[in-house]
Amino acid sequence: MLPAAALLGVLLAAVLGSLFGGPHRAPVTVAPVSAVATVVESVPCGRPGARDTVVFVIDGRSHRLPLDGCGNLLGAELGVEFVVAPRGEPTVRLAGTGRQPDHVLAERTGALLLALSGLAGALLVVHAAPARFPRPRTARVPRWRALRAPWVRAA
């Protein structure tokens, strides 16, 4: 009875912690602006911190900034997102590679489902494992007496 109550308590705590608490991340204050950018300077990805340079137009103004990526072909047109980071520096990344601020509930629900599937797997192992009972003690019969047993003589 106690393991079942402990299991239900842990399950309830996981559900409540996942949906109403848990780690909070700072929301992105400015939504990313999508644009089509052209690669004007390509850098091979062999060295650390390699970043291509792209040119794109937002609200009639042309911007030339480093892309958060490398190894693209010169003149290639890429879908990018322009974001101003919390510290104030502009960042250009490939479209769809950043974290979206409005999917917090979906992320928490996914984490909850992952935890529940792990719990279900653990329960399956516990219930499917063979029971480990001590073997009953049997009287040890000396070998010479076992040979004299009536069932041995009849065969």
Q: What are the structural domains of the chain?
A: 33-94 (2.40.50)
pLDDT value for 59: 87
Q: Pseudo-torsion of CA 32, 38, 41, 43, nearest 10°?
A: 60
Residue with tokens 């949906």: 19
pLDDT value for 28: 46
pTM to 2 decimals? 0.47
Over residues 42-82, the pLDDT tens digits come to: 989 888 889 999 999 988 888 899 998 888 889 999 999 88
d(Cα 133, Cα 155) in Å, to the nearest integer? Answer: 34
The HSE-up count of residue 140 (CA atoms within 13 Å, CB side) is 1
More confident residue, 105 or 68: 68
3 state SS of 116: helix
Q: At what angle do helices 104-128 and 2-20 cross, to 10 degrees?
A: 160
Residue with tokens 């608490």: 21
d(Cα 139, Cα 142) in Å, to the nearest integer? Answer: 10
pLDDT value for 54: 93
